[in-house]
C-alpha cells in the first residue's frame, strides 16, 4: 500500500525548517550507504547527530504523532529519527531496496516495515527528482508539494531520478509498524476508513450505529490478533 499524506507540516513550519536546513553543513550521502547502495547513491545528507537534523526531526515527529491519517495508515511501533537529503546538479539514487534493520540512537534495532519521504521543496522548484516506487501493480512516480509525505512498504524497490535543475530537499525515515504485514495493515486501514465514514453518516440510523459498533469490534479484534508489541 502506497499512501500520500498531505499537510504534515504547515507553510510556516516548512519555511522555518528550510531556513535552518539551508544553513547547515551537508555531507556526502555515500557515508551512510550500505554495500550495494554505495555504487548508486549520489546525493548530500545531513548527519543524524547534526543539531539542525535533530531540531527539524523533532518538529516532524511531533507533527506525525497528532496526524490521524498517518497513525491509522502506519500503526507505528517505532519511528527512526528523521534524516535529510539534498539532490542538486544531476544527483540521483539508483534502484535499491532499503536495509531491513536499522539502529535507534539508544542502540535498539528496529525492522523497517515502512519508508517515508517528506518533501520540503515545491515540485516546480526543481526538475527531475521523482521518487519512483515499484509496486505490485507497476511503478508509481511521486513528486509531492512541500509538507506532504509519501508512505510506502520498505520491501519496494525504489529510486530517485537525477535532479537536472534546482534542488530537491526532503526528509526520509523508517517505521517499524505494530503490524508487520503490508497486506494486513492495508485491510485494517480500509476497515478503519470505512468505520469513520459510517460513524459520520450514522447518528440517526440505528442499523448504521449498530454496524459501526460491530465493525469497530472487528477492527480491534483483528488488531489484537496481528499486532506485535
- Which residue number, 4 or 55, has a Cβ lying nearer to Ni ion? 4
Buried b (16+ CB within 10 A) or exposed e, 150-173: bbbbbebebbbbbbeebbbbbbbb
> Residue 215 burial by CB count (10 A; 0-12/13-18/19+): exposed, middle or buried?
middle
- Cβ closer to Ni ion: 29 or 188? 29
Instruction: Name the minimum Å distance from CB 159 to Ni ion.
Output: 8
- Ranked by CB distance to Ni ion, the top (closest) residue is 98
Strand segments, DSSP code E, in the chain are: 3-5, 27-28, 41-42, 44-46, 76-79, 83-87, 92-96, 101-103, 109-111, 114-119, 126-128, 131-135, 138-142, 149-153, 158-160, 163-166, 168-177
Closest approach of Ni ion to the CB of residue 96, in Å = 6
- C-alpha cell at position 71: 497513525
Which span sits near Ni ion by CB under 5 A: 13-21, 44-52, 92-100, 140-148? Answer: 92-100
Among 79-87, 91-99, 159-167, 211-219, the segment contacting Ni ion (CB under 5 A): 91-99
Would you say 97 or 222 has its CB closer to Ni ion? Answer: 97
Residues 97-136 that bind Ni ion (CB under 5 A): 98
How many residues line the site for Ni ion (CB under 5 A)? 1
Residue closer to Ni ion (CB basis): 153 or 192: 153
Residues near Ni ion, by CB under 5 A: 98
Amino acid at each position: 500500500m502506497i499512501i500520500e499524506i498531505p499537510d504534515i507540516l504547515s507553510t510556516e513550519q516548512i519555511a522555518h525548517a528550510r531556513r535552518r536546513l539551508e544553513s547547515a553543513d551537508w555531507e556526502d550521502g555515500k557515508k551512510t550507504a550500505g554495500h550495494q547502495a554505495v555504487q548508486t547513491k549520489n546525493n548530500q545528507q545531513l548527519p543524524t547527530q547534526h543539531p539542525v537534523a535533530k531540531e527539524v526531526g523533532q518538529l516532524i515527529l511531533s507533527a506525525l504523532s497528532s496526524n490521524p491519517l498517518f497513525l491509522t495508515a502506519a500503526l507505528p511501533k517505532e519511528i527512526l529519527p528523521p534524516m535529510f537529503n539534498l539532490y542538486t546538479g544531476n544527483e540521483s539514487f539508483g534502484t535499491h531496496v532499503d536495509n531491513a534493520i536499522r539502529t535507534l540512537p539508544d542502540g535498539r534495532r528496529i525492522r523497517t516495515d515502512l519508508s517515508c519521504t517528506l518533501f520540503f521543496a515545491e515540485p516546480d522548484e526543481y526538475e527531475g527528482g521523482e521518487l519512483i516506487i515499484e509496486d505490485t501493480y507497476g511503478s508509481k512516480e511521486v513528486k509531492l508539494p512541500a509538507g506532504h509525505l509519501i508512505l510506502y512498504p520498505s520491501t519496494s524497490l525504489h529510486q530517485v531520478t537525477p535532479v537536472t535543475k534546482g534542488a530537491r530537499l526532503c526528509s526520509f525515515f523508517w517505521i517499524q509498524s505494530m503490524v508487520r504485514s503490508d497486506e494486513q495493515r492495508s485491510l485494517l486501514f480500509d476497515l478503519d476508513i470505512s468505520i469513520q465514514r459510517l460513524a459520520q453518516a450514522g447518528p440517526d440510523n440505528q442499523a448504521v450505529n449498530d454496524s459501526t459498533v460491530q465493525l469497530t469490534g472487528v477492527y480491534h479484534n483483528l488488531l489484537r490478533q496481528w499486532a506485535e508489541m
